[in-house]
Amino acid sequence: MIALQNVCKKYGEKIAVDNLSIIFDQGTVSVLVGPSGCGKTTTLRMINRMVEADTGEIRIRGRSINEYNPVMLRRAMGYVIQEVGLFPHYTVYDNIAVIPRLLKWNDARIHKRVMELLDLVTLDESFCEEYPVQLSGGERQRVGLARALAADPDILLMDEPFGAIDPINRITLQDTLIDIQERIQKTIVLVTHDINEALKVGDRIAIMNEGTLVRYDTPENILFEPGGKLVEMLLGHDRNLKALSLRKTSNFIEKSGFSTVSPEDSNETIQRIFEGKEERVVFIIDSEEKMVGRYHCVVESGEGCSVMKSDDPVYIEKSANLSEALSKMLESGEKVLPVVSSKKRLLGVVTLSSLFDEMSRESDRSNT
Amino acid sequence: MSLFTYIIEHSNEITVLVVQHGIIFLISIIPAIFFGVALSIIVTREGREKQGNRLLTITAAAQSVPSVAVVAIVFIFVGVGALPAVIALFMYSLVPIVFNATSGMLSISSEVVEAAKGIGFTNRQVLWKVKIPLAVPVIMAGVRSAATINVGTATVASFIGGGGLGDLIFMGIKLYRSDMIFSGSLIVGLLAIVIDALLRLLEVKLIPGSLREKVAG
């Protein structure tokens, strides 16, 4: 969809982009990531001709971007920047309506589109008459996103879009982006310096350094087979934990190896379970199989253990990823963690040892 | 009370002087506004920030040149009469307008301009839809400043035969008539206040809604 071939850009003596060739496929989120000065922003800005490439070809759907008037090219693409750049003298409505108005849409169509977009970026209609100065950073960037998508471009270019947002809202915005992409399937090229963001939102990640492309692959492949010092460094020492975040808990549920009792069962029943098996925890479930608590077997000096009841059930939802499961295990000290459905029904357990097995399986894969 | 009787008794002559004063004011300030704003637009085009900053330094220094000096220099080159007065006032008013307008255009956030370009505005659209509306508060402050200074400086122009209320003041000085001096000065002062008030009304109309609160009073 977007193809760069042998693209170079120099600023004086400094080479910003060095003979870059890369293809961004239609309907995917491609993330450009790398250390400062690696050329990722320059590359992005060459696509909409905010920066003109020195040499090389950039084609969109096979046609060179130089065949188009730059202004027309940009109107056909969405552009989101870190500082957002909303027009301070326009209301939210007017900001979003900017491009449709440039394209001379009629008022009714514009109104409908603005409302659709506000819904898409999860902003309430009451924001229409507000001015940017009255909005928070996260809200502003949502408007920025809506503005970029207003004319329904096929391509969306994003330059560190969430870099200036506080960490909590950044996560919400990333989730919003993922949601939006599921609904509208644009071709998105996103620049970020945050490897975690890249892993989270990217379908493919292009790692750049000093103007060249070092690696271009899926998050999975990069995590499990970094293939180089730079990539390893970028991924961080905790890349195995990051790899866990790509795995869904629902795929690792074990249905055996634990016992359940109902709230009515007597202490003797529970004592017998503890004596008979090696388990230390028994889960209490009600008639609808929902978790309501657990019993611990606390080992005391000598033989036997005393049974401690806790009404606070510790569990993880099946929609969580393995990294979150591990975190819960560390938090609760439980090596065997119940997995529940969204309605809190007990589905099975996930164990610490199965996590270890998974991690070592993947690292075997990367060592071969 | 002799001050007010003077004004009332000589209201016809005074009206003529006020009109003269007003004409000199308008003929000098309106071109100054157009040229000044146009110059600031040219000098702050994309990539030319250095030019803009240089102009800013020059005009900042020029603001300290006394009006009498400007009038005198124009007199040397052009002579006496209304024309040299207008030229001198034009040049003198140009300085605060250019200073403010350039400063205003330069102070516009680059990310707003970047976003405007990136979403597909032509350079002209960036200028008229984004840069100028955002610079209007500062430009208008410069225009108001230039206008009030102009009205006052026009009195000095009567030195070189420009006419206007300066004639009344200087005649009063020569004849040791304090009522003439006061009348002239008072009316010039009132004129300045009225013009400033009118320009403030204009300013409120021109400033985009969201920026209005910042310019209260």
Question: pLDDT digit string (tens) for A293-315?
Answer: 887 777 666 666 677 778 777 88
The answer to whether B184 and B172 are in contact (CB under 8 A) is yes
pLDDT score for B206: 81
- Give, in order, the Cα–Cα distances in Å from B11 to each of A25, A149, A348, B118, B183: 82, 66, 102, 61, 11
Alpha-carbon distance of A86 to A143, in angstroms, equals 8
Q: Which residues of chain B have pLDDT under 50?
A: 215-217
- Give, in order, the Cα–Cα distances in Å from A340 to each of A245, A289, A323, A345, A351: 18, 10, 16, 5, 14
Cβ contacts of A156 on chain B, cutoff 8 Å: none
ipTM, interface predicted TM-score of the complex: 0.78
* Span A101-135, pLDDT tens digits: 988 999 999 999 999 999 989 899 999 999 999 99
Residue A26 has pLDDT above 90, yes or no: yes
Contact with chain A for residue B211, Cβ under 8 A = yes
- Give, in order, the Cα–Cα distances in Å from A114 to each of A86, A108, A124, A157, A187: 15, 10, 11, 20, 21
Closest Cα in chain B, distance from residue A73 (Å): 8
The answer to whether A50 and B110 are in contact (CB under 8 A) is no
Q: pLDDT confidence of A144, banded at 50, 70, 90?
A: very high
Q: Give me the half-sphere count of Cα atoms (radius 13 Å) on the Cβ side of residue A267.
A: 6
B210/A50 touch (CB, cutoff 8 Å), yes or no: no
pLDDT score for B213: 53
Q: In the predicted model, what is the mean pLDDT of residues A143-148?
A: 94
pLDDT score for B53: 85
Measured CA angle at A40 (ends A34, A44), to 5 deg: 150
Residue A328 has pLDDT above 80, yes or no: yes
- Give, in order, the Cα–Cα distances in Å from A286 to each of A263, A294, A340: 6, 11, 13
The answer to whether A173 and A84 are in contact (CB under 8 A) is no
Which of A89, A90, A147 is nearest residue B119 as measured by Cβ atoms? A147
B133-137: list long-range contacts, CB under 8 Å, 24+ apart: B133/A89, B133/B208, B134/A88, B134/A89, B134/B108, B134/B208, B134/B211, B135/B101, B135/B104, B135/B105, B135/B107, B135/B108, B136/B104, B136/B203, B136/B206, B136/B207, B136/B208, B136/B211, B137/B104, B137/B203, B137/B207, B137/B211, B137/B214, B137/B215
User: What is the number of residues in chain A?
Assistant: 368
* Span B109-139, pLDDT tens digits: 889 999 999 999 999 999 999 999 999 989 9
A85/B109 touch (CB, cutoff 8 Å), yes or no: yes
- Assigned token pair, A228: 């180089």
Q: Which of A257, A276, A225 shows the shortest CA–CA distance to A354?
A: A257
Mean pLDDT, rounded, of chain A? 87
Residue A318 has pLDDT above 50, yes or no: yes
Q: pLDDT confidence of A150, banded at 50, 70, 90?
A: very high
Cβ contacts of B125 on chain A, cutoff 8 Å: 102
What lies within 8 Å, CB to CB, of B64 at 6+ separation is none
Q: pLDDT confidence of A168, banded at 50, 70, 90?
A: confident
Closest Cα in chain B, distance from residue A144 (Å): 9
Residue A162 has pLDDT above 80, yes or no: yes
Q: Any idea which of A182-191, A284-293, B33-42 has the lowest mean pLDDT? A: A284-293
Alpha helices in A190-347 (DSSP H): 195-201, 219-224, 229-235, 239-244, 267-276, 322-332
Substitution target in A75, A80, A87 with the highest count of B β-carbons within 10 Å is A87
B119/A87 touch (CB, cutoff 8 Å), yes or no: no
* Span B136-167, pLDDT tens digits: 989 999 999 999 989 888 888 787 877 788 88
